[in-house]
A = this chain, B = another copy of it.
Amino acid sequence: MFFACFFEKLFVNSWQKSRFFMYSFETQLRPRYAETDQMGYVYYGNYPAYYEVARNESMRDLGTTYSEMERLGVMLPVRDMHIEYKRAARYDELLTIKMWLVEMPAAKLLHKYEIYNEQDELINKGTTTLVFVDSKTMKPCRCPEWFAERLRPYFEK
């Protein structure tokens, strides 16, 4: 409850206003038939993959790719995920996934997401925390400098 409240108010009121101090990104997709279930809507367990599509496309928007990240020896396993489901999404309707990186990453990436349908109704909102891991040592590491450089402009006043 508290969290929901906080999210709703603070998120909409202050984040949106201060959008020059965060990285935001938007992409679209259509749920596949495979992703519906017999309730007639998108299965709740498919949204983590949708969030990942947004993260993935945002990397391209930043001029790199997650494949590049892996080639350079850094993995990004997910540490934490939270999803609040508001409304069901249907097969083939055009969904808009909005995504925000709300702080300049040090050792982890904190993403926030909101998915909207064509009527601009909120389907769900969520957060994930990804940690930078060195793929040789399999130990946590810091955000690689070359990636930090790409993000820095979005977090400067």
Residue of B nearest to A48 (CB): B45
The answer to whether the Cβ of A78 comes within 8 Å of any Cβ in the partner chain is yes
Chain B residues lying within 8 Å of A46, measured Cβ to Cβ, are 34, 45
Q: Given that A80-B85, A84-B80, A91-B38 are contacting pairs, would A33 and B48 also be in contact in the complex, using a CB cutoff of 8 Å?
A: no
Chain B residues lying within 8 Å of A83, measured Cβ to Cβ, are 80-82
Chain B residues lying within 8 Å of A36, measured Cβ to Cβ, are 37-38
Residue of B nearest to A131 (CB): B85
Contact with B along A60-80 (1 / 0, CB 8 A): 000001110000000101111
Identical subunits present: 4
B92 engages A65 (CB within 8 Å): yes
B85 engages A44 (CB within 8 Å): no
A92 engages B39 (CB within 8 Å): no
The answer to whether the Cβ of A154 comes within 8 Å of any Cβ in the partner chain is no
Separation in Å of the A31 CB from the closest CB of chain B? 10
A32 engages B44 (CB within 8 Å): no
B44 engages A37 (CB within 8 Å): no
Distance in angstroms between the alpha carbons of A154 and B82 in the assembled complex: 29
What are 30 A-B interface contacts by the 8 Å CB criterion?
A32-B56, A33-B38, A33-B49, A33-B56, A34-B45, A34-B46, A34-B48, A34-B49, A34-B52, A37-B38, A38-B38, A38-B40, A38-B91, A39-B75, A39-B77, A41-B77, A43-B49, A44-B78, A44-B81, A45-B46, A45-B49, A45-B52, A65-B92, A67-B90, A67-B91, A77-B85, A78-B85, A79-B84, A80-B84, A80-B85
